[in-house]
Amino acid sequence: MDFLTLFGIYVVAVLTCIALVCKYSGHQRTPLGRLFDTFTGVVSQLIPQCLQNICYRTMHRLFHQRSNIFLYLHLLLEVVVYGEFSYEVFGFCLDMGTSSISLCIPYVLLALKSYLFYQCCSRDPGTLTKANHTTQLKVYQYDEKLFQQGVRCSTCQLVKPARSKHCRVCNRCVQRFDHHCVWVNNCIGAQNIRYFLLYLLSVCVMAGDIAVLTADMLLQTVLRTGLLHAHYIDEQGVRQPAGPLFIIQHLFLTFPRIVFMLGFLVFVFFLLAGYSMFHMYLSLINQTANEWFKGKGHNCQHCHPYTGHNCQTSYNPFRGFYHRGILKNFGEIFWPLCPVQKKEN
């Protein structure tokens, strides 16, 4: 099996994983989610019904029920990446003159990420209970679009505070509900959104740092071995200069595990960079992912509860109902709002 075939299989596997996550994480309206729906609609006609039922139950178990499978997968991928980095890349980088401080940064990021990951998994996202329900009703105003006053949760039998939502995976109502993340096996809400945002950024930086060190090691290998000026004899016996494809194939055959790890890290970096930017944007405009996906084209963006102005003819489409200014919006992520206590005369 040649390099291009292996690379093609790798790309197909990565795109399949992304499509599955988009389909079953509740974000079906993404382009990959719609593409996956079209693909499964065609393929399902060729698959026996019994196999379709097995696939459906498996996907439902993975994405719509609480499970530690993705926690274990997360840890496994982490062990594989850091194992390969420590076993091969670390030594090669030392031999090529990379500073010890640069090589220690990934381990510092790993410790930071592990702490944030633990907080995301273990910290309560803001579960609504009978004890705190009355106070939570006073935190946010109802926009009467996405959140109507007096609506009762049919499962918890509690009146829903504004911006809350019942998570069918965790079977609880969560304050300022953002989404349920299968990778941390927990809901993301008012009390742990700050850890989730920092967790995303830490994984992104960690993947980018290891990818840069690995790419630098491979580049130094190419420069020191003179591959840029090398030649080879093709099938017709003609002497050809070594082009980019030849160099990539050579690196793939010489360092197969390192090249695959680099490809995986680049994929993770760009995927999480985009996802992190999306959540940073939501933080700056004071919206949740739940409100973003439910409210596109539904809520009146220019009705503003804090200024007292409603239904203006000109408005900023990037400001939602709960927008309080960029600094206050961002501060709300790290210091969740508390009920306003009225002063007694």
Would you please indicate which residues are annotated as catalytic (active-site) residues? Answer: 181
Task: Spell 147-165 as b/e; 16+ CB within 10 A means b.
Answer: beeeeeeeebebbbbbbbb
3-state secondary structure 62-88: HHCCCCCHHHHHHHHHHHHHHHHHHHH
Tell me how far CA of residue 130 lies from CA of 61, 161, 243, 330, in angstroms. 30, 12, 68, 29
**What is the 8-class DSSP label of residue 139?**
T
Q: Do the Cβ atoms of 151 and 159 come closer than 8 Å?
A: yes
Q: How far apart are CA 87 and CA 79, in angstroms?
A: 12
Between CA 319 and CA 295 the distance in angstroms is 13
Q: Are 269 and 207 in contact (CB under 8 A)?
A: yes
